[in-house]
Structure 1
Amino acid sequence: MSYVRETSAGYLTNWAARLFARALERRLGTGSGPMPVFFALQDGRALTQKELAISATVEQPTMANTLNRMERDGLVVRTPDPNDRRSAQVSLTPLGLERAEAAFKVALEVNGIATDPLKPEERPLFYDMMRRIVAALERDTNAD
């Protein structure tokens, strides 16, 4: 039995994700690590580190490191959670909101490059299939 990467959904998805990240980072001049935090907090709300980790589907220590870097860079602020004194609410600073907006513009550009080879009528089908794949994998991941 041989494993052919060109017909492996996992390999192709991972390869595309790495190329997306590289394209984003090249345009941003920085890492793409804050992107999940930008997505989760873009509407001005505040979430806990745990909620952000769940939203980004990363482990808590990974999110803690991301938030520490973002806090150091002035992109997020942590305030005590009024409902749980052991926890903090994380929100974007004005600089964080500005960087998020810039990152989203870059993400739209990279998404355009990625989907340009598809015919306009193929794009909705592509997005639908990707959402179904994500949903199936989320169900499998949450089955534990």
Structure 2
Amino acid sequence: MASRGLMRLAERRLKPFGVGAGQIPVFYLLRNGETMSQRDLARLARVEQPSMAQTLARMERDGLIRRVPDPEDGRSSLISLTKKAVAKMPALREALHAGRAELLEGFSDAEVAMLCDLLLRLNRNLDRGVLREIAE
């Protein structure tokens, strides 16, 4: 329920900017002018390749990313953010920070720190579980 609620909140906050919550990992991973392949983006964002392909197709349609041929792999493209996407980043960051404040209302600083620690540990455990499943 918390995950779905977080996604709804993020979608509501980002909609005025023409950005979906699923696109935020791409913005984050490419934020400093980086270029990456679709495969690397999917791996780092921890999503399946088809999901990343759909996300990137929408972002390309909306003028938020550009693809250039990978000089080391002719079958692959390197993806980067466009100037349009970079220009949206401060407003996106502000919208998400406002959502975070709304979400954590009534929590003390110590409780927020504890929540972050617990979620990081939960994610590490989930990652180990996924790796075990792959190995089996």
The equivalent residue for 1:79 is 68
The alignment status of 1:108 with 2:97, answered yes or no, reads yes
The equivalent residue for 1:88 is 77
* Partner AA of 1:24 in structure 2: A
* Partner AA of 2:126 in structure 1: L
Which of 20, 23, 35 matches 2:9?
23
* Partner AA of 1:84 in structure 2: D
**Runs of 4+ residues deviating >3 angstroms:** none
What is the rounded CA distance, in whole Å, between the counterparts of 1:133 and 1:68 in structure 2? 31
Q: Which runs of 5 or more residues in structure 1 are unaligned?
A: 1-14
The equivalent residue for 1:136 is 125
* Partner deviation per Cα, 1:41-96 (whole Å, 9 max, x = no partner): 11110110000111111111111111011001000000111111111100000111
> Could you tell me whether the CA contact under 8 Å between 2:13 and 2:99 is conserved in 1?
no
TM-score, normalised with respect to structure 1: 0.84
Which of 37, 41, 44 matches 2:26?
37
Give 3-state SS (helix, strand or coil) of 2:76's partner: strand
Give 3-state SS (helix, strand or coil) of 1:47's partner: coil
> Could you tell me whether the CA contact under 8 Å between 1:35 and 1:100 is conserved in 2?
no
What is the rounded CA distance, in whole Å, between the counterparts of 2:22 and 2:114 in structure 1? 28
The equivalent residue for 2:108 is 119
Percent identity between matched residues is 38
Q: Which runs of 5 or more residues in structure 2 are unaligned?
A: none
The alignment status of 1:69 with 2:58, answered yes or no, reads yes
* Partner AA of 1:35 in structure 2: I
Give 3-state SS (helix, strand or coil) of 1:117's partner: coil
* Partner AA of 2:14 in structure 1: L
* Partner AA of 1:83 in structure 2: E
